[in-house]
Amino acid sequence: MKFAALATWVLAALMGGYLLATWIANGGLRPRSGDRPSRFAPQLILGHGGLAAAGLAVWVTYLFLRRPALAWSALGVLAVVATLGATMFGLWLRAGHGQPRGRHIAGPQHAAEDHFPPPAVLVHGLFAVSTVGLVLVTALQAAR
């Protein structure tokens, strides 16, 4: 289980890196004229990724040292990461992925996150949820 958690965590990180690169390439860190600003505050998206990377480092340390407290610490970090991720997912989902709404829309205006391919968001989320489950099971087993 612990190595399956590592694998899903790395795969979630790779897909998250792709989403982050897409967000940055489409102006996520800077306001663009003519386009809608990002709904994701830089602190939100960078905090999500940074904490996920820190949690992964704690998990790798757990794999080497086999201290149950490290597994629980990684799970705690994942709880915060998941909360930030769920917040971004809700903002992304609610906005309709950049689709114009209403009859008064002058022209297409897209925020940086409107360029996320929905399958990439889905795959990232599935790997992330799997990671949380696998880390939880491993932490419970380590506590015995």
Residue 105: inside a domain? no
What's the pLDDT score for residue 103? 47
Number of domains in the chain: 1
- Domain containing 52 equals 2-28+38-98+111-142
* Structure confidence at residue 107 (pLDDT): 46
Domain contains 138? yes
Domain-embedded: residue 106: no
| Predicted structure pTM score | 0.86
For the stretch 112-127, pLDDT in tens is 898 899 999 999 999 9
Q: Is residue 14 part of a domain?
A: yes
Biggest alpha carbon distance in the chain?
A: 61
Is the pLDDT assigned to residue 52 strictly greater than 90? Answer: yes
